[in-house]
Amino acid sequence: MDRVDVDLLKEVADMRMGNPILGAFNIRKNGEGIERRSTKDVDIIPKTDKPGIDIIVKPNSKPEDVHIPVIVTQSGFSDKVYNDFIIGENAEVTIIAGCGIHNCGCDDSQHDGIHRFVLKKGAKLKYTEKHYGEGTEGGGKRILNPVTIVEMEEDSYCEMETVQIRGVDSTKRDLEATLGKNAKIVVLERLLTHDDQFAESNMEVVLQGEDSSAQVISRTVGQDNSVQVFNPRVIGENQCSAHVQCDSILMGNAKISSIPEISAEHPDAMLVHEAAIGKIAGDQILKLMTLGLTEEEAEQQILNCFLK
Amino acid sequence: MDRVDVDLLKEVADMRMGNPILGAFNIRKNGEGIERRSTKDVDIIPKTDKPGIDIIVKPNSKPEDVHIPVIVTQSGFSDKVYNDFIIGENAEVTIIAGCGIHNCGCDDSQHDGIHRFVLKKGAKLKYTEKHYGEGTEGGGKRILNPVTIVEMEEDSYCEMETVQIRGVDSTKRDLEATLGKNAKIVVLERLLTHDDQFAESNMEVVLQGEDSSAQVISRTVGQDNSVQVFNPRVIGENQCSAHVQCDSILMGNAKISSIPEISAEHPDAMLVHEAAIGKIAGDQILKLMTLGLTEEEAEQQILNCFLK
């Protein structure tokens, strides 16, 4: 691993030199698994039929955090990977994924991760996924198109946090979740686009089970000439509840569209959606400037709080 | 005019026997204009190239309320009508439209009104449209598909209230509004569906002019096996503001989908959307029951307040 690799791993998976990783992990670089470790509670098994790994968490276990970062440093490299996660009954685990692309060449680099999660009865998963791109010298783009499928059995809980802060030229995210009885999903999406970047986020949460619930919080910032499109969709097929909240800050000449759908197909479905798009209020900036910040610092401070 | 006509006119346009209509009016029955009056400020002129009328309100005038109800009493009758409204500069007017269908036959009765409004500079319009159906003996359906196009010049104001309370088997509403500088539109939609009724409401408000604004309030109740679908769409192309609020009460086995879109295409667009779908809270009903109401009375009281 060279300096670029180390920097990318730190950025996307908080894996630092000198900080030993205690749990299971898998590091994928330019389409190859370069390091991997299973533990007594977590098996990481390379797939034999297609690129990717199976991550199997033992029932009733509470393993150390699992790290599965992907880095792409070869300009023009296009990587597609299928990862399956089976979280056993009543297991409780945190999985840290992420993809960092360093592209200083002139060709586009792309990573498409297809992640499928099965949460068995009573399983608890906290999943974070951070996307990051760097290297603009050559003009090659950094493209990330993640697909996430979540199947949640009775009483399971899933918290998904996805973060894309800088450097990804184009992204199309798809999330599909199906919830069983009393299952709960919390989705936190944080996204910042700048320059001519494009981001599309599609989400379909199907509340199938009785007393299932979903909470979706999306916070995004559009800067420069970037474009963002959001299609969160929540379908209530049983007694269930959902709250979807999308807030976006407009800067520069960015364009943002929010097209949510809430569909109640059961008399005891309670679905709420809120969306707001607008620029930072002038009085917020003024207030921080009276405390001694410049206008740029004030703006940055507000963005940091908003995306935290 | 017979008893059925008189009842329908009262229901949809609040035109009552013995209560003389003071302003301009036009009554259309089964595809024919049966009575019409222009006044000094309001010209109502039948179109010569297609069915319908032109309603022209003089600049700077403040005429009496204009009534333009449509009634359909012939089972199996399908009526399509094109009405154009030109509201002159700085004129201020209230227009009361509405369509009542009495269908006791076995064939479907349908009325499709295509209404186009042009609000000149500084014009103020209050427009109400009430849809009502009755007569179920024969099994023929009552179908209403209104199309409304609103073009708003600088400083104009438009308030549109659309009401469909009972008896319309199928409706597909389309509203398109384009707003100039400092124009403001307020849309109030109230809708109740029951039995196997279907209602679709599409709305596209384009905020083109600087400081234009839109407020959309939609309140709906779905009962029995009825289905409702809402697609309100607001596009901010300039410094502008919009607030869209959709609240729906679910009863019986009704299904309701809300798919709003807010699109900010200008850095100074401020767009907010809120939607909620759910059944009446049990504690609200209980509270009214402690005041002596039966469960049905309590429910009806809540619906009345919600749709008022």
| Mean pLDDT of the region B87-99 | 95
B264 to A277: CB separation less than 8 angstroms, yes or no: yes
pLDDT of residue B23: 92
Q: Give CA–CA dist A46/A26, Å, rounded.
A: 10
pLDDT above 80 (res B210): yes
- Sign of the Cα torsion A98, A276, B190, B174 reads negative
> Considering only CB atoms, which chain A residues are within 8 Å of B273?
258, 260, 273-276
Mutation choice for A interface testing from B204, B262, B268 by most A CBs within 10 A: B262
> Considering only CB atoms, which chain B residues are within 8 Å of A270?
276-279
Q: Give CA–CA dist B254/B66, Å, rounded.
A: 36
DSSP 8-state class, residue A210: T
pLDDT of residue A240: 97
B82-86, B280-284, B297-301 — most confident range = B82-86
pLDDT of residue A282: 80
B60–chain A Cβ distance below 8 A for any pair: no
Sites in chain A below the pLDDT cut of 70: 17, 136
Measure CB to CB from residue B278 to each of A259, A261, A271 and give the nearest one.
Answer: A271
Of A212-221, A284-293, B11-20, B201-210, where does mean pLDDT reach its minimum? B11-20
B275 to A260: CB separation less than 8 angstroms, yes or no: yes
CA atoms within a 13 Å half-sphere pointing along the CA-CB vector of A58: 12
> Considering only CB atoms, which chain B residues are within 8 Å of A263?
255-258
Q: Give CA–CA dist B244/B223, Å, rounded.
A: 23
Q: How confident is the model at residue B111 (pLDDT cuts 50, 70, 90)?
A: confident
Share of chain A above pLDDT 70, in %: 99
B258 to A265: CB separation less than 8 angstroms, yes or no: no
Q: What is the ipTM of this complex?
A: 0.86
pLDDT of residue B184: 98
Mutation choice for A interface testing from B243, B253, B259 by most A CBs within 10 A: B259
| Mean pLDDT of the region B185-213 | 96
User: What does the domain layout of chain A look like in residue ranges?
Assistant: 1-148, 169-308
pLDDT above 90 (res B3): no
pLDDT of residue B257: 95
pLDDT tens for A9-47 read 888 888 776 777 789 999 999 988 889 999 999 999 999
Enumerate the H helices of chain B as residue ranges. 3-13, 282-290, 295-307
pLDDT of residue A268: 94
Q: Answer yes or no: are the C-beta atoms of A207 and A237 closer than 8 Å.
A: yes
B271 to A278: CB separation less than 8 angstroms, yes or no: yes
Mean pLDDT of chain B: 92
> Considering only CB atoms, which chain A residues are within 8 Å of B272?
274-278
B47–chain A Cβ distance below 8 A for any pair: no
pLDDT tens for B221-280 read 999 999 999 999 999 999 999 999 999 999 999 999 999 999 999 999 999 999 999 998
Q: Give CA–CA dist B97/B117, Å, rounded.
A: 13
> Considering only CB atoms, which chain A residues are within 8 Å of B227?
none
A265–chain B Cβ distance below 8 A for any pair: yes
Q: Answer yes or no: are the C-beta atoms of B178 and B152 closer than 8 Å.
A: yes
Of A80-94, B129-143, B186-200, B233-247, where does mean pLDDT reach its minimum? B129-143
